[in-house]
Structure 1
């Protein structure tokens, strides 16, 4: 049984929603970030980048308390309000690449512990603890974990009915995106939505594994410190965006490697030939259209790599995934990259970006070789999660990426 919990969101006043909402922090380059901070005093970026007020860049734990201070200032200035009744929030986003809608609500940390909320990626303990400490200091969360469930026509019909009403927010962005948010505080509709999820046996993390793990750690820590713990406290839950599988957009990550691990180009190609049929495409851009096909860009030329299946043992779920194949047959044994998270010789580009960006990074000399592959599908992701396995780092890049600052969950 999946728990979905309404909460009293802190959120911008209606007239300020479009000004407050910001893209994920890491999507801004330095010039764009400075422009937003210089000319938009309501941007949520002022909270996420609190040192800007003092013209000083602050990182690490020193930043946490200042984030909280900026957040409290926004509340004191009435930029934010808090809803009086626990609510669900239906959020719809339309971009050039996708159109999606889902439910912003709280998920249960206990569901994560019990395995009702299933994961498919490993997390790094140090990052879990760091973000847990961040949440503990600031006392709020504005980045929902992306949770996905099997499509349900009846549930979608109810959401469509709600979206016929006038939205709480409706605004466009300079990226030609449209954003809509509906507040659902009617008790009958809340119970109806909750009932749909109570019939589900499991739900899957699509994006936000570290946020999910950190929220669970915080719930455990607070429960131990609270002698009057009841299980109903807000710290027992974490903000999530519940979205059906058909609303997801799944991309791959391309890999970039700085050198050929001491091999010449000719030696490197000969080593690849053991496991791949290689076609030199020259200047013709090649993007894989099938599983177990890979693109490679090296020394100004594109190559198509086709896995020789007679030389590869598909011994389990993970072994059939393209990120695993590339790691097991190229990155680790040939290029000497064992730690995909921490090795400074490897970098990643989301597959939604043009392959010419990968070409440009290699042509610039910053990297020597780049690899591309097909994105995984939701069935593969769910199978890995159901079997209790974890994929290699940077196996998937999943959208939507929600705007920060539209709904805030306080602990």
Structure 2
């Protein structure tokens, strides 16, 4: 597999804490706007460029997106962000709640993505792909990294970890308690050692950022069509990502809340659920599932443990035996009438980072009628789904800690 060094555009050492920001898709425009009022150097000005305008602006217009490009150029011109003097690979460590993941910032091949060597496990929506591809084209930059993983090998893991004994370029704890450390590897021999080592790897896997990867590949094809001298080595043929070993990554639960019982009374609903699940009232509040194929359900200030009955799913099929599939196929669709969780407005999804208590809060508020707590999808199941060329149901995985934007930018 191809791991390629690049000249990263990154914040000056004393500006990293001010510039780096959460991914654009986990904050609202208003949250980004408030941060910009407090901190004029936030990277939201690039990734959420509508905050540079009045609230009435068309957030999808070229003018708005190009303002993000202008801000990025101003950051560089004013010395807030600096362009590496030569290609580098960046060793990156995130520590959070006793967990640690160490990987590399580099650029990766859009051709290998199109060829299926960079494997995915989620479907992408064309409208979101289109929007992201426009951002890449107009900014001429990859501003947010894709989250990749490889099957851990001791020799590869050790090769990366050895660079962490050096003095880091960045070393700080952000507002959410995540400890970020980054080392710049510019020595050509050290870079070549990493590049050569990863040539022995058969595949990379997308953990998070499916739309960013798809958009990068789409933008690369469009850039190539516009370039009569296209060679395949241009910057647009490679996208920004951070690559981690699979065994260091952490998936949290991804829970569901539903607004109504699809016209059923509470008693009718529980009776229907009990046809497919063993339903047990539990006193523990809140109730968090302790293993695969176990669900928590919160209804009318009571918690229940649900266990699927024999025959409700195919144990030999990796997708249908996922807990998200079991819940969807045996309860959400047939009982609550949620055929397409991607588009149905009656369902919402709550990342495990918010805690099980958030499910209680949403139901007790009256906004939602019932909540479902799931056990986290495993990394092994994700790898198996991707290797079999299959697709997980939407909102199956919530990786934490996530990757920030603005730590490193890849200019095209």
Give the total of aligned pairs: 410
Give the whole-Å Cα distance in 1 for the aligned partners of 2:176 and 2:239. Answer: 29
Q: Which residue of 2 aligns with 1:390?
A: 391
Deviation of residue 30 (structure 1)? 7.3
Give the whole-Å Cα distance in 1 for the aligned partners of 2:14 and 2:132. Answer: 31
CA RMSD of aligned residues (A): 1.7
Contact 1:283 1:300 in 2 (8 A): no
Which shows bigger deviation, 367-376 or 21-30?
Answer: 21-30
Deviation of residue 77 (structure 1)? 1.2
Contact 2:295 2:306 in 1 (8 A): yes
Which shows bigger deviation, 108-117 or 94-103?
Answer: 94-103
Contact 1:89 1:182 in 2 (8 A): yes
Taking the TM superposition and a 5 Å limit, the aligned residue runs for 1:362-401 are 362-401=363-402
Is 1:230 aligned to residue 235 of structure 2? no
TM-score normalised to structure 1 length: 0.95
Give the whole-Å Cα distance in 2 for the aligned partners of 1:29 and 1:128. Answer: 19
SS state at 1:242 partner: strand
- In the alignment, structure 1 segments of 5+ residues that lack a partner are none
Deviation of residue 41 (structure 1)? 2.1
Q: 1:27 to 1:174 in 2, by over 3 A?
A: same
Give the whole-Å Cα distance in 2 for the aligned partners of 1:123 and 1:51. Answer: 24
Give the whole-Å Cα distance in 2 for the aligned partners of 1:109 and 1:396. Answer: 24
SS state at 2:330 partner: helix
Taking the TM superposition and a 5 Å limit, the aligned residue runs for 1:218-297 are 218-282=219-283, 284-297=285-298
Which shows bigger deviation, 95-104 or 251-260?
Answer: 95-104
SS state at 1:296 partner: strand
SS state at 2:68 partner: helix
Give the whole-Å Cα distance in 2 for the aligned partners of 1:85 and 1:268. Answer: 63
Is 1:37 aligned to residue 36 of structure 2? yes
Deviation of residue 33 (structure 1)? 4.0
SS state at 1:216 partner: helix
Q: Which residue of 2 aligns with 1:176?
A: 177
Q: Which residue of 2 aligns with 1:15?
A: 14
Q: Which residue of 2 aligns with 1:71?
A: 72
Give the whole-Å Cα distance in 1 for the aligned partners of 2:316 and 2:16. Answer: 51
| Deviations, residues 342-396 of structure 1 (Å, cap 9, x unaligned) | 1100000012321110110001011001111111111111111111110100001
Deviation of residue 330 (structure 1)? 0.5
| Deviations, residues 293-327 of structure 1 (Å, cap 9, x unaligned) | 11100111101101111444435221111111101
TM-score normalised to structure 2 length: 0.95
Give the whole-Å Cα distance in 1 for the aligned partners of 2:141 and 2:112. Answer: 20
SS state at 1:274 partner: helix
Give the whole-Å Cα distance in 2 for the aligned partners of 1:311 and 1:188. Answer: 55
Deviation of residue 144 (structure 1)? 0.8
Give the whole-Å Cα distance in 2 for the aligned partners of 1:23 and 1:284. Answer: 31
Q: 1:259 to 1:364 in 2, by over 3 A?
A: same
Deviation of residue 138 (structure 1)? 1.1
Give the whole-Å Cα distance in 2 for the aligned partners of 1:103 and 1:197. Answer: 12
Contact 1:121 1:393 in 2 (8 A): yes
Contact 1:283 1:301 in 2 (8 A): no
Q: 1:233 to 1:60 in 2, by over 3 A?
A: same
Q: 1:387 to 1:182 in 2, by over 3 A?
A: same
Give the whole-Å Cα distance in 1 for the aligned partners of 2:164 and 2:82. Answer: 22
Give the whole-Å Cα distance in 2 for the aligned partners of 1:363 and 1:226. Answer: 57
Give the whole-Å Cα distance in 2 for the aligned partners of 1:385 and 1:409. Answer: 27
SS state at 2:353 partner: coil
Taking the TM superposition and a 5 Å limit, the aligned residue runs for 1:316-355 are 316-355=317-356
Give the whole-Å Cα distance in 2 for the aligned partners of 1:11 and 1:142. Answer: 10
Give the whole-Å Cα distance in 2 for the aligned partners of 1:34 and 1:131. Answer: 20
Q: Which residue of 1 aligns with 2:304?
A: 303
Contact 1:362 1:370 in 2 (8 A): yes
Q: Which residue of 1 aligns with 2:140?
A: 139
- In the alignment, structure 2 segments of 5+ residues that lack a partner are none
| Deviations, residues 169-197 of structure 1 (Å, cap 9, x unaligned) | 12222333321111111111111111121
Contact 2:289 2:374 in 1 (8 A): yes
Is 1:88 aligned to residue 102 of structure 2? no
